Amino acid sequence: MRRLGVNIDHVATLRNARGENHPDPVYAAKFAKKVGADSITIHLREDRRHINDADAKKICSIKGLLVNLEISTNSDIVKNAMKIKPNFICIVPEKRKEITTEGGLNLIKNKTTIQNIIKRFKKLNIRTSLFVNPSLKDIRISKAISADCIEIHTGKLSNLIKTQKNFSKELKKIRECSYLANDLGIEVHAGHGLDYKTTKVLTRIKEIKEFNIGHFIIGESIFLGLKNVIKKFKIIIK
């Protein structure tokens, strides 16, 4: 069974636009679970532009809710995450000025730092995932530094599909990385820029076990409601 992780960062973006409490990401997390999300993803960014520490703490303390916390390698953020104790950690690259996470981790440059972070979370029994580009080299490094999972950055594929360009080469890269990771015993996830169509395309790759989707789900909920959008995605990935 493939799982749907719902990223609720942009519920917090909307809340923060008014500086008040509505819409509440904590309520969104509980609601998303109730209507079918298999897990909730939140990204505690260094600039706290959407989810803040209080949100993260409250969301991670909701009983029975599986939370995937995305973090950078920043040492203060890592310390915070260790205190918050989510079920899952996904390490992502982070640049202050980017609108969203633009690509996967640079595993060659940051191998030792990331390896040490993985060790610390493993001691706490927290599943660790690395947000990577679809590169066979990065999959091999992920294995060498004992990542439990990889999440393949699907931004490029999504853009190609959305702009009606040929996406077969990019899909092939994602497929080959998924096969290799699976063979190496690393669980494969996918995320970034996914909508109904791009998710459907990726379901052709059976090795992908989890989809983490945020912006489209929250945006589409304006028209259909969160419950209906989650239901539609659950049907797509079934």
Q: Can you tell me the distance from the alpha carbon of 135 to that of 167, in angstroms, rounded to the nearest whole number?
A: 16
Q: Does 131 bind ligand PXP (CB under 6 A)?
A: yes
Q: Does 106 bind ligand PXP (CB under 6 A)?
A: no
| Cis preceding linkage at 23, omega within 30 | yes
Q: Does 7 bind ligand PXP (CB under 6 A)?
A: yes
Q: Does 138 bind ligand PXP (CB under 6 A)?
A: no
Nearer to ligand PXP (CB atom), residue 63 or residue 128: 128
Nearer to ligand PXP (CB atom), residue 65 or residue 133: 133
Q: Which residue in 49, 111, 215, 234 binds ligand PXP (CB under 6 A)?
A: 215
Q: Which stretch binds ligand PXP (CB under 6 A): 53-61, 166-174, 175-183, 190-198?
A: 190-198
CB atoms within 10 A of CB 109: 9
Applying the rule CB under 6 A, the residues between 78 and 97 that interact with ligand PXP are 90, 92
Q: Can you tell me the distance from the alpha carbon of 129 to that of 46, in angstroms, rounded to the nearest whole number?
A: 19
Amino acid in position 176:
E
In the numeric block, the tokens 């669980």 are attached to 187
Q: How far apart are CB 13 and ligand PXP at their closest, in Å?
A: 10
Q: Does 100 bind ligand PXP (CB under 6 A)?
A: yes
Nearer to ligand PXP (CB atom), residue 88 or residue 216: 216
Q: Does 12 bind ligand PXP (CB under 6 A)?
A: no
State the catalytic residues: 43, 70, 192
Applying the rule CB under 6 A, the residues between 26 and 55 that interact with ligand PXP are 43
Q: Does 194 bind ligand PXP (CB under 6 A)?
A: yes
Q: Does 236 bind ligand PXP (CB under 6 A)?
A: no
Nearer to ligand PXP (CB atom), residue 63 or residue 218: 218
Site size for ligand PXP, by CB under 6 A?
18
Q: Which residue in 55, 191, 201, 229 binds ligand PXP (CB under 6 A)?
A: 191
Nearer to ligand PXP (CB atom), residue 20 or residue 148: 148
Are residues 29 and 40 in contact, defined by beta-carbon separation less than 8 angstroms? yes
Q: Can you tell me the distance from the alpha carbon of 180 to that of 182, in angstroms, rounded to the nearest whole number?
A: 5
Residues of this chain that interact with ligand PXP (CB under 6 A) are: 7, 43, 70, 90, 92, 100-101, 131, 151, 191-194, 212-216
